[in-house]
Amino acid sequence: MTANSAVMDSRRSRQALLAGSVGNFIEWYEFGVYGFLATVIAANFFTLQGENAVTSLILAYAAFALAFFCRPIGAVIFGRIGDRIGRRPTLIVVVLLMTLTTALIGVMPTYASIGVAAPLLLTLLRMLQGLSAGGEFGGAVALLTEFAPPGKRGRFGAWQSLTVALGLLAGAGLVALLSALLSHEQLHDWGWRIPFLLALPLGVLALWLRLKLEETPSFTRAQQQPAAAERPASAAPLVVVKTITVGIGRMMGWSAAGYTFLVVMPTYLQTSLHATLQQALAATVLANVGFALTILPAGILSDRLGRKTVMIGAISAVILFTFPLLHLLQDVGAALWQKGAAVLVAGAVVGLLAGPGPAMLAEMFPTRVRYTGLGLAYSLSNAVFSGSAGLIITGLIRETGNIDIPAYYVVATSLISLLALMTLRRDDHLRPLDAI
């Protein structure tokens, strides 16, 4: 390789890193904002006549969950397009859809203005967001890992997870700022719209970066292969379905712990532990800081030690620490700094899973089905174990009165993930993507 070609490859890798990360940032910023403002959105859109506040919150989470269940559909639709015509054009369409639907939520009339049409229209927009989000992850991870230099797939893939943390942090930080600057009435009346409207300039930036992008080397090489090589054994339909199932198992604990600790936490602290909105948001910011701090180191470490070693260690930590951390939060006698440390550690442990996770999924699928396969595994896992987390946890606490429900939920899913992660090969991080 000449010096000029090396410089060109390095520039393309950096462009892919930016273009792949910014769309993912917008996705998780918006999903985080919805979760952090769940009580406000419930009051504005789902406080139906004759229903109490808990029922309204459950309806808000139901719309949240429905958007997640649209993700697998988006993963199939956009994944098949991305595997056939390319990562670049598909990701351009995805970011346009996500930006427009998020901005429209910011101008939606509420239940007080148009009645039952308000929650129905909001749910429809959430479903469209789910479709775009389902197409975002598979394309972004394929883009990042297929452009990654040799030996750096874990590092590059970790940027997808890091933008999750940054998006959630940006959402939590903005909501915390608005709740501090605005009165309760102002926040419920019009202040909640601001975070959704800010997606518009962010989307324009993402679109500009993706328009400048080139197609990935792996996809280009796959398209140039002769017809006889078009369907390797690893891309056979039954094999792909089996691989997706294994991928869901490997992701269950990551999905459940991530959304329980990073998104559902504010509502849990308010409704079950009677914290204020500001206290709940501060705890969530700390959890997301811990999450962000460990993602890149975990991704880099997985390039050296392997995905299996790092992810099994991480899921074991989730299983061991979840109950003690939750009980510390419930302890009225615990010092504030102890509770802050607890949520910081909770986020950090999830980051250890999220760092190697994207590269692990990319290494499970050959190029011709990678966009669809990893996107579907991720979206199905998130639909069931992330998108339903708030609904399941809130509903079970209401029915049982047991405030340990979040810990039972996280540990049960993580035990299954531990078994699935045991099946990882120790040398996956060493093999070229084109050879999978």
pLDDT tens for residues 137-166?
999 999 999 999 888 999 999 999 999 888
Q: What radius of gyration do the chain's Cα atoms show?
A: 21
Q: pLDDT tens for residues 228-282?
A: 555 566 667 888 899 999 999 999 999 999 888 877 776 677 766 777 767 777 7
pLDDT at 51 over 70: no
pLDDT at 53 over 80: no
pLDDT computed for residue 156 by the predictor? 94
Q: How far apart are CA 235 and CA 239, in angstroms?
A: 7
Q: How far apart are CA 435 and CA 197, in angstroms?
A: 44
pLDDT computed for residue 318 by the predictor? 94
- Residue in the block written with tokens 């915390």: 176
pLDDT computed for residue 232 by the predictor? 63
- 4-8, 165-169, 213-217, 328-332: which is most confident: 213-217
Instruction: Give me the percent of the chain exceeding a pLDDT of 90.
Output: 39
What are phi and psi for residue 36, nearest 5 degrees? -70, -25
Q: How far apart are CA 422 and CA 92, in angstroms?
A: 36
pLDDT at 31 over 70: yes
pLDDT computed for residue 4 by the predictor? 47
Q: How far apart are CA 367 and CA 355, in angstroms?
A: 21
pLDDT computed for residue 305 by the predictor? 95
The Cα-based distances of 430 to 1, 221, 244, 418 in angstroms read 21, 20, 21, 22
pLDDT at 28 over 70: yes
pLDDT bracket for residue 66 (50, 70, 90): confident
The Cα-based distances of 174 to 40, 115, 158, 159, 182 in angstroms read 14, 28, 24, 22, 12
Tell me the mean pLDDT in the region 221-232.
67
Which residues are CB-contacts of 216 (< 8 A; sequence separation ≥ 6)? Answer: 16, 86, 87, 88, 142, 143, 146, 147
> Among 50-64, 92-106, 178-192, which is the least confidently predicted range?
50-64
Which residues are CB-contacts of 248 (< 8 A; sequence separation ≥ 6)? Answer: 377, 380, 381, 384
pTM (predicted TM-score): 0.84
Cβ neighbour number for residue 266 with a 10 Å cutoff: 28
pLDDT bracket for residue 430 (50, 70, 90): confident
Q: How far apart are CA 284 and CA 76, in angstroms?
A: 32
Please, are residues 389 and 409 in contact by the beta-carbon 8 Å criterion?
A: yes
**Where would I find the H helices in 225-335?**
237-259, 265-271, 277-305, 307-330
**Tokens coding 132:** 């775009």
Please, are residues 407 and 269 in contact by the beta-carbon 8 Å criterion?
A: no
> Among 10-14, 344-348, 423-427, which is the least confidently predicted range?
10-14
Q: pLDDT tens for residues 67-118?
A: 778 889 999 999 999 999 999 999 999 999 989 998 999 999 988 888 888 8
**Tokens coding 251:** 């992701």
pLDDT computed for residue 48 by the predictor? 61
pLDDT bracket for residue 126 (50, 70, 90): confident
Cβ neighbour number for residue 3 with a 10 Å cutoff: 7
Please, are residues 414 and 94 in contact by the beta-carbon 8 Å criterion?
A: no
DSSP state of 50: T
pLDDT bracket for residue 62 (50, 70, 90): confident
Q: How far apart are CA 131 and CA 135, in angstroms?
A: 7
Q: Which amino acid is at 281?
A: L
pLDDT at 26 over 70: yes
Structural domains of the chain in order of their starting residue, each with its CATH number: 12-215+234-435 (1.20.1250.20)
pLDDT at 64 over 70: no
Q: Cα–Cα–Cα angle for 136, 262, 411, nearest 5°? A: 105
pLDDT bracket for residue 397 (50, 70, 90): confident
Please, are residues 283 and 340 in contact by the beta-carbon 8 Å criterion?
A: yes
Tell me the mean pLDDT in the region 38-64.
70
Mean pLDDT of the chain: 85
Q: How far apart are CA 314 and CA 7, in angstroms?
A: 36
Q: Which amino acid is at 23?
A: G
Q: Which amino acid is at 202?
A: L
pLDDT computed for residue 87 by the predictor? 93
pLDDT computed for residue 431 by the predictor? 87
Which residues are CB-contacts of 330 (< 8 A; sequence separation ≥ 6)? Answer: 273, 403
pLDDT computed for residue 13 by the predictor? 82
pLDDT bracket for residue 32 (50, 70, 90): confident
Please, are residues 174 and 195 in contact by the beta-carbon 8 Å criterion?
A: yes
For residue 289, with 0-12 CB atoms within 10 Å meaning exposed, 13-18 middle and 19 or more buried, which class applies? Answer: middle
Would you call 423 helix, strand, or coil by DSSP? coil
- 37-46, 136-145, 216-225: which is most confident: 136-145
Would you call 170 helix, strand, or coil by DSSP? helix
